Homo-oligomer: A and B are copies of this chain.
């Protein structure tokens, strides 16, 4: 009798435990927006696709993408062409599409070459958002990136702060590349509009190469003995300008503002040769790309019956922001 009671007891406990555990499990497995919470399933796979996949620059974007995946309980993958090669990126993207992922976040190496493959994914029902490098005529739902014009204006404000709002400055850039042209325009317009005692006296090509940038900066320094500052619109330009300033024995006399946070730039900020650099909101690019893809996959965007079929279901453009990095906060930017 006692034993039988014990067995009943155990059975009942096991049953109750099972029922409630099942409820727990069910809640966990349920997808999208339910019971007050956004959560996906681990079977949902979101893929981030880049080019030159080993590049340091992508790391923090991927960190944001992964953090987004952890936040929503979904899985993420990272793929990319190894080279700076549009055909290779198209092949990688085709392979990713073939696996029918829940969504694709892409940085397009070439806005025109990638468009038809992006559209193929969207037409197949796979949501695509773009980050860092756009393909504006594609069917991708959103573009999350630095507003480069604003980033240039931020560099101008920092240069003005460093120079006490006066003096001649030069720019080292890559003409013809939209992001660099925008950074330069933002810088020039802000100087012209806000700092009457400052002027941009020289603009030279750095071609994304430290040696070429060094020579360009050296010529600039020679031609303009009163030069007080150099703004480089990308990382190699800043490093090259630093080398030129050291060679000309003008450290501290010609202030440099760089772009991005590669190790060479951070080291030059630590040793005082570069005064500041503009860090892009890379984590935001990855995190909010994942969020947007999740919302598209689960149909949690603008309610279609309210706003028609042709409405943009997500914000089409997100400025992921920049931060000014100086000697004071440079240690936060070294890879941990």
A interface residues with partner B (beta carbon < 8 Å): 1-2, 5, 8-9, 12-13, 16-17, 20-21, 23-24, 27-28, 33, 35-40, 42, 60, 63-64, 67, 70-74, 144, 147, 150, 279, 281, 283-284, 287-288, 291, 300, 302-303, 305-312, 314-325, 329, 332-333, 336
Contact = CB atoms under 8 A, between A and B. Distances in A.
Nearest to A317: B319
B38 A71 contact: yes
A324 B310 contact: yes
A315 B288 contact: yes
Copies of the protein in its oligomer: 2
User: What 4 A-B pairs come out closest when comparing CB atoms?
Assistant: A36-B73, A37-B39, A308-B332, A312-B321
B315 A38 contact: no
Given A63-B306, A279-B307, A308-B329, 14 more contacts: A9-B9, A13-B13, A27-B27, A28-B35, A35-B73, A37-B72, A71-B300, A281-B315, A283-B302, A284-B302, A291-B291, A307-B333, A308-B323, A312-B321
Nearest to A320: B315
Contacts of A320: 315
Contacts of A311: 279, 281, 321, 323
A70 B38 CA distance: 10
Which of A20, A36, A63, A281 has the largest number of chain B CB atoms within 10 A? Answer: A36
B37 A144 contact: no
26 contacts: A5-B5, A5-B9, A9-B12, A17-B20, A20-B20, A20-B21, A24-B24, A28-B35, A28-B36, A36-B40, A37-B37, A60-B306, A281-B311, A284-B314, A306-B332, A307-B333, A308-B329, A309-B332, A311-B323, A312-B321, A315-B319, A315-B321, A317-B318, A317-B321, A318-B318, A318-B319
Given A20-B24, A291-B291, A323-B310, A317 B147 contact: yes
A317 B302 CA distance: 19
Contacts of A305: 332, 336
Contacts of A307: 279, 283, 323, 332-333
A262 to B, nearest CB: 15
A75 to B, nearest CB: 10
Contacts of A147: 317
A46 to B, nearest CB: 13
Which of A8, A35, A72, A306 has the largest number of chain B CB atoms within 10 A? Answer: A306
Contacts of A150: 317
Which of A73, A74, A307, A332 has the largest number of chain B CB atoms within 10 A? Answer: A307
A150 B319 CA distance: 14
